[in-house]
Amino acid sequence: MTDGVDLVGPPTLLDYLAPVPLSYPVLPAIGIVLAVAYLAGAIRLWATGRKWSVARTVSFLVGCLAVVAVMGLGVELYGYALFSVFMFQQLTLMMAIPPLLVLGSPGTLLLRATPRRGLGLLLLRAAHAGLRSPVARWLLSPVVAIPLYLLLFYGLYLTDLANWILGLPGGHIGLEILFLASGVLFTIPLLSSDPLPVRMGYGGRAIDLFVEVALHAFFGVFIMMSVTLVVDRFAAPTMALGIDPLSDQQIAGGLAWSYGEAPSLLMLLYIMHRWFRDDTRKAAAADRRADTHGNDELDAYNAYLEQLRRRNQPDP
């Protein structure tokens, strides 16, 4: 199954990047719609004289462009035939694209740019209701996001689940959508500056990433070292391209171990930077308050020491 296009011989870089006809370009269409909607909101703010970050805009649009490229060019066709390409797509959808989208702060843009009348007012009410709903709190909690994230690696490939889903009509596209959705759910609590129903502390975010990095590295090494195929469905099309399926699987494991770790480490560095910056800002604000109004704790401690001094002072 290669979306109706015959693939001949091992792919080259040009084959991966070549435009190809797709029967169901679902994710490229989603990427284009998101980019147009985001850009329309940003332009509306700029046109009315309100500020909106160019860096956020670039981040979100690059994320949308990555969705269109990775799911809409030749790489998508080879994702049906090669486990290594499918793994590259999964890693990109779950780990590389979500930070770009989340750092674009689309929720904040939605709240600022949507008109407060007509359909816009209904959209804003729905957005506020979603923020306050227990479902949103549940979906964005580590109890859901982390198990779902790991299930799409360990559960998908260490059982026969991948063979079964990829054999279903639309199973390949369905998994791609699930990869992107789970990556966004995992990334929002870690990086988002949008209004959220619950916000994790920086320590919790760092711990979540440490756990994810360790378990993800182990998964990559396991796939790379395996002497049997973990997904049989890729065996026949891989051999038809003149490539050894086990060698291709080792490449997939190497990607999971190397390429998969880089976005997580970058997110960890970003979180640590924000943690340090926020602590520095809070300490500076506390110093300013102390300079203006005094330090209640320090004043109380000094009063206590003065009381002890007077108590121990001998009577004249």
The string of pLDDT tens digits covering residues 159-196 is 889 999 998 988 999 999 999 999 998 899 889 888 88
Please give the model's pTM, rounded to 2 decimal places: 0.84
Question: Where along the chain do its domains lie?
Answer: 14-264
Question: CA-to-CA distance for 307 and 106, rounded, in angstroms?
Answer: 57
Q: What is the pLDDT of residues 54-103, one digit of tens each?
A: 999 999 999 999 999 999 898 999 999 999 999 999 999 999 999 999 99
Rg (CA), the chain: 26
H/E segment holding residue 136: helix 134-139
Distance (Å, rounded) from C-alpha 253 to C-alpha 255?
Answer: 5
